[in-house]
Amino acid sequence: MKKKKLIILSIITISLLILLYLLYYFNLLPHKKYTNEFFGIKTYVSLIDKDNDGVDDQTDILMNTRNYIKTHPKYKSKYYRSGYPDDSYGVCTDVVAFAFLDAGYDLRELVNEHINAYRNLYDIDVVDKNIDFRRVLNLKIYFDYNAISLTTDIRKIEEWQGGDIVVFKKHIGIVSDKRNRHGINFVIHHASPFQKYYEEDILEHHNDIIGHYRMS
């Protein structure tokens, strides 16, 4: 009887540990955050201030990203005649679009201009400026030609900074200035209606990073 109780207790303990691991792995439990200073990494400051607001582009983009997620957008893919969502909904590309818009970069216009100038680069049948800048692969192509391309090796932690852009095969986000215990940055992104936190420790769980950029 005693042996049976020990077996049941062991099963319960192991099950709880597995559950906690899964909750942590999928960012349903908060992860401890570290700063650049903890790892001796100097915070990058851009020499460009596109919108002349006294805040450099890199800092501006990161700050705007945080301001956007404070609005708690709900995940839904919709078409907007204004291009930018004007309600409480959004998708991953909108995190980037609003971060850039308030830093002086109107991606709706910029991506449209680039598509019209270099149509052969884009896999688009019908150009639509209201939606083209909200597609991940279009943004990747735009950044390939209009931003600074950086390493996709997440282990080179000193080359990743808050305010950078990270592109996955079917997703995009803004790199956070917060890092995990290995020095790898969190990502500020919007991936699904079930996402608990907008700022998550996800880079180590992805093998599909296809782009890493810095605007200036």
Count CB atoms within 10 A of the CB of residue 129.
14
In 3-state terms, what secondary structure has residue 186? strand
Q: Note the pLDDT of residue 3.
A: 72
pLDDT at position 158: 98
Written as six digits, the tokens of 174 are 């803004």
Burial of 18 (0-12, 13-18, 19+ CB in 10 A): exposed
Locate tokens 């709706």: which residue?
108
- Kindly report whether the global pTM for this prediction surpasses the value 0.95: no
Can you say whether the dihedral through the CA atoms of 47, 48, 54, 58 is positive or negative? negative
pLDDT tens for the chain, 216 residues long, are 667 777 666 677 777 667 666 656 667 677 899 999 999 999 999 999 999 999 999 999 999 999 999 999 999 999 999 999 999 999 999 999 999 999 999 999 999 999 999 999 999 999 999 999 999 999 999 999 999 999 999 999 999 999 999 999 999 999 999 999 999 999 999 999 999 999 999 999 999 999 999 999
Task: Give the per-residue pLDDT at 100.
Answer: 98
Best CA proximity match to 194, nearest among 98, 94, 74, 95: 74
Least Cα distance to 144 among 165, 125, 113 occurs for: 165
Q: Where are the domains of the chain?
A: 1-30, 31-214
Concatenate the DSSP letters of all residues of 132-152 into one string. GGGSHHHHHHHHHHHSEE---
Q: How many CB atoms lie within 10 A of CB 25?
A: 12
Output Rg (C-alpha) for the chain, integer angstroms. Answer: 20
pLDDT of residue 30: 78
